[in-house]
Structure 1
Amino acid sequence: MIRGRALDATVENGVCRVRFNRPEARNTITPDLIAELGRALDACEERAVGVVVVEGGDRDFCFGADLDSVAAGEPGDADRDRGNVDALYDLWLRMATGPQILVAHVRGRANAGGVGFVAASDVVIADDTATFGLSELLFGLYPAMVLPFLTRRVGFGKAHYMTLMTRPVPAARAAEWGLVDAHGPRGDQLLLQHLGRLRRIPPETVGSYKRYMGRISPVALEAAREPAVRANLDIFSDPANLRRVTRFVEDGVYPWEASR
Structure 2
Amino acid sequence: MDILNTTNYDTLQVKLKDEICFIQIDRPEENNTINDRLIHEFKAVLEVCETEAKIVVIEGLPEVFCFGADFKAINENTDNQEQNPEPLYDVWLQLATGSFVSIAHVRGKANAGGVGFVAACDIVLCEDKAVFSLSELLFGLMPACVLPFLIRRMGFAKANYLTIMTQPVNAQQALEWGLVDACEENSKNLLRKHLLRLRRLNKAGVARYKKYMNKLDSLPENSKSDAIAANIEVFSDEENVNKIKRFVNTGQFPWE
Tell me the TM-score range normalised by the shorter chain: over 0.9
Q: Which residue of 2 aligns with 1:242?
A: 241
Query: Any idea what SS the aligned residue of 2:255 has?
Result: coil
Q: Which residue of 2 aligns with 1:188?
A: 188
Which residue of 39, 42, 45 maps to 1:37? 42
Q: Which residue of 2 aligns with 1:224?
A: 223
Query: Any idea what SS the aligned residue of 2:223 has?
Result: helix
State percent identity of aligned pairs: 47
Once the two structures are superposed, the pairs formed by residues 145-224 of structure 1 within 5 Å of their partners are 145-217=145-217, 220-224=219-223
- How many residues are treated as equivalent by the alignment? 251
Indicate if the aligned counterparts of 1:77 and 1:237 stay in contact, CA closer than 8 A.
Answer: no
Matched, 1:62 2:66: yes
Gap runs ≥5 in structure 2 = none
Deviation string, structure 1 residues 7-32 (Cα, Å, up to 9, x no partner): 01102233111111111111111111
Query: Any idea what SS the aligned residue of 1:102 has?
Result: strand
Once the two structures are superposed, the pairs formed by residues 106-125 of structure 1 within 5 Å of their partners are 106-125=106-125
Query: Any idea what SS the aligned residue of 1:132 has?
Result: strand
Shift of 1:46: 3.5
Q: Distance in 2 between matches of 1:115 and 1:195?
A: 22
The higher-RCO structure (CA 8 Å, 6+ apart) is 1
Q: Which residue of 2 aligns with 1:19?
A: 24
Shift of 1:77: 2.3
Query: Any idea what SS the aligned residue of 1:91 has?
Result: helix
Gap runs ≥5 in structure 1 = none
| TM-score for the superposition, normalised by structure 2 | 0.95
Indicate if the aligned counterparts of 1:64 and 1:114 stay in contact, CA closer than 8 A.
Answer: yes
Q: Which residue of 1 aligns with 2:251?
A: 252
RMSD, aligned α-carbons: 1.3
Shift of 1:75: 8.6
Q: Which residue of 1 aligns with 2:81?
A: 77
1:2/1:26 CA distance change after superposition, 3 Å: farther
Which residue of 2, 6, 10 maps to 1:5? 10
Q: Distance in 2 between matches of 1:96 and 1:73?
A: 30
Indicate if the aligned counterparts of 1:124 and 1:182 stay in contact, CA closer than 8 A.
Answer: yes
Which amino acid is the alignment partner of residue 24 of structure 2?
R
Q: Which residue of 2 aligns with 1:143?
A: 143
| TM-score for the superposition, normalised by structure 1 | 0.93
Which amino acid is the alignment partner of residue 69 of structure 1?
A
Q: Distance in 2 between matches of 1:173 and 1:75?
A: 42
Indicate if the aligned counterparts of 1:14 and 1:50 stay in contact, CA closer than 8 A.
Answer: yes
Shift of 1:210: 1.4
